[in-house]
Amino acid sequence: MLAKRIIPCLDVSAGRVVKGVNFVELRDAGDPVEVARRYDEQGADEITFLDITASSDDRDIILHVVEQVAEQVFIPLTVGGGVRTVADVRRLLNAGADKVSINTAAVTNPDIVAEASGKVGSQCIVVAIDAKQTAPGKWEVFTHGGRRNTGLDAIDWARRIEALGAGEILLTSMDRDGTKNGFDLGLTRAISDAVRIPIIASGGVGTLEHLAQGVSEGRADAVLAASIFHFGQHTVQEAKAFMRERGIEVRL
């Protein structure tokens, strides 16, 4: 049976991991290559890097990070953040990324999804959806870190990007992101049921129970988390052992 995936996410700025890392091991805190290796050793199924570099001068640094990680870590690598053009997608893939996540650019110019998936294949194109609940059973797509409402219905948008050639959806609840209160399971399930492509649930994980719920109740194909792994609260192994106890298929 296909395993549900657990994906640690690293926020990277100017070549350093910026959400703190397992501070017990100070020697490699902040080095994306070291952190990625550790997650690989723990059995992470994929690793996602979100480039949150503010200065455009430092944009190319992520390419060097990806190159170094790809030489040492042989699981799928997804990179997102600031991807605006098909040329950006190509640069990241050539550096060693396996998938590239497109967020705001997909909203402002949906053709980029079709163009990129046509050029490099749907399997390389993840579209990130940041959604907020606006009414019971209704969620809308936001950009700019949840500050700007696009007015797009999240379910309609998910169907549209699937039709345009997205290979996967990285779905983040902006209501839950950073709260540690668990995924927005209603949102996750609504989107997962609406499309045929895999869904990565994101935003709000504070416990291992939350990860399991994302799969069992949210019907996500993969679950993404940052802080519960970074701060040494749990290892990926612990997360997998917990999910297996709940009857969820995982790669141990």
Partner 1 sequence: MTDVAVIDYGMGNLRSVEKAIVHVAGGAAVRVTDDPEVVMRAERVVFPGQGAMPDCMAEMEARGLHQAVVAAAATKPFLGICIGQQMLFEHSEEGDVAGLGIFAGQVRRFPEAKMVDAAGQRLKVPHMGWNEVWHHGEHPLWRDIPDGDRFYFVHSYYVDPADAAVTAAHTDYGLRFTSAVARDNIFAVQFHPEKSARAGLQLLTNFMHWTP
Q: Which residues are catalytic?
A: 11, 130
| Residues within the interface to partner 1 (CB under 8 A) | 1-5, 40, 45, 70-71, 74-76, 93-98, 120-124, 167-168, 196-198, 219, 221-222, 251
DSSP for 82-108, please give it: S--SHHHHHHHHHHT-SEEEE-HHHHH
CB of 124 to partner 1, least distance (A): 7
Nearest residue (CB) to partner 1, 9 versus 95? 95
In sequence order, what are the beta bridge partners of 168?
126
Nearest residue (CB) to partner 1, 106 versus 125? 125
CB of 200 to partner 1, least distance (A): 10
CB of 3 to partner 1, least distance (A): 5
Nearest residue (CB) to partner 1, 76 versus 110? 76
Which ranges in 44-135 belong to alpha helices (H)? 61-72, 86-95, 104-108, 111-120
Query: Nearest 5°: phi and psi at 144?
Result: 55, 50
CB of 191 to partner 1, least distance (A): 12
Nearest residue (CB) to partner 1, 81 versus 167? 167
The answer to whether 127 and 118 are in contact (CB under 8 A) is no
The answer to whether 221 and 199 are in contact (CB under 8 A) is yes
Nearest residue (CB) to partner 1, 27 versus 196? 196
Query: Nearest 5°: phi and psi at 187?
Result: -60, -50
The answer to whether 128 and 172 are in contact (CB under 8 A) is yes
Nearest residue (CB) to partner 1, 154 versus 222? 222
Q: What is the dihedral of CA 21, 185, 211, 29, to 10 degrees?
A: -10
The answer to whether 133 and 187 are in contact (CB under 8 A) is yes
Reference 36, options 3, 4, 1, 78; nearest CA is 78
3-state secondary structure at position 145 = coil
d(C-alpha 214, C-alpha 171), whole Å: 11
CB of 148 to partner 1, least distance (A): 30
CB of 55 to partner 1, least distance (A): 26
